[in-house]
Amino acid sequence: MADDTTGSGSADETPRGADLHVPVLLERTLDLLAPALEKPGAVVVDATLGMGGHSEAMLTRFPELTLVGLDRDTDALRIAGARLEPFAPRVHLVHTEYAGVAAALDSLGIDEIDGILFDLGVSSLQLDQVDRGFSYSKDAPLDMRMDTTRGITAEQVVATYSESELRRIFTQYGEEKLAARYARAIVQQREAAPIIRSAQLVDILSDATPAALSRSGHPAKRVFQALRIEVNAELASLETALPDALDRIAVGGRIVVLAYQSLEDRLVKRELARRSTSTAPAGLPVELPEHRPEFRLLVRGAELASDDEKALNPRATPVRLRAAERIRRAA
């Protein structure tokens, strides 16, 4: 998945061919998961299925692997389901957000898993469908829901949130320095006419941007990111999903997370650091078994895409990869 909300390609039609989506850091992800997924009877969760690119590659490389694919987007489940049809006996697809990982596994009678992949952010499918409203470069209804069957839309957020609430989400989720200015402009403009399309919002933000800052990046980028995160409760979902997923990983199992913006990456970094750090009190002469870390980190810091990967797939440019392996079951 990618976090850049600019969209690309032919966006008026639902993608049908696997060649329309290049999974980010595919080979690196497979190599990191391989030691856990090569064993007979291994189970992996693709917590952000998308169009199934990573899942297809895992099922192909590991012929005895069972895959549980989660996605809140019904279009993604339909497309990925067709793509993964050759592996149908080894595939379980569940309509849920990644925070539903524990409930999904319970529904399938699966207690432990050997691997899990989170490819966070907005998916290529969602970016490339103009009418979903994720892109600030194409005019569309202000929707931004990853699950179009439920929830509040970006249009409703823009129309009903107070100026202070808009400022909060632009600051918190977009890290936007002009949050107060943009919130004020939106509230003023919506009194004159409803803001229902992305082009309207882009014009409002552009007009509210000081000329001196107009060349420092698209004025809508961070606001659109903030609206998307608010609409889909992405950070709250991730905060629930990470500990639940880590609790389900068997000893020797592995997790790989691909993050595309600093907010989600910080959550991942914090949770993996907590699980991979000894809890022994300072000064204790001997580390007792119950204080030993549950996980060990597999990469130093956050791993970035290579120049070759970025050239092959521009959506890999902002990615930060983190990975860990369970080494001990919690007491």
- What are the binding residues for S-adenosyl-L-methionine? 52-54, 71, 98, 119, 126
In 3D space, the residue among 309, 219, 224, 299 whose CA is nearest the CA of residue 261 turns out to be 224
Q: Which residues pair with 326 in a beta bridge?
A: 295
* Token output for 85: 């049809």
Rg of the chain taking only CA atoms, in angstroms: 21
**In this structure, what token pair is assigned to residue 156?**
């409703």
Cα diameter, the chain: 69
Burial code (b: 16+ CB inside 10 Å, e: under 16) for 220-259 equals: bbbbbbbbbbbbbbbbebbbbbbebbbebbbeebbbbbbb
Q: Is 284 helix (H, G, I), strand (E, B) or coil?
A: coil
Strands of the chain (E only): list them.
43-46, 66-71, 91-95, 113-119, 249-259, 295-297, 320-326
Please report, in range form, the residues annotated as the binding site: 52-54, 71, 98, 119, 126
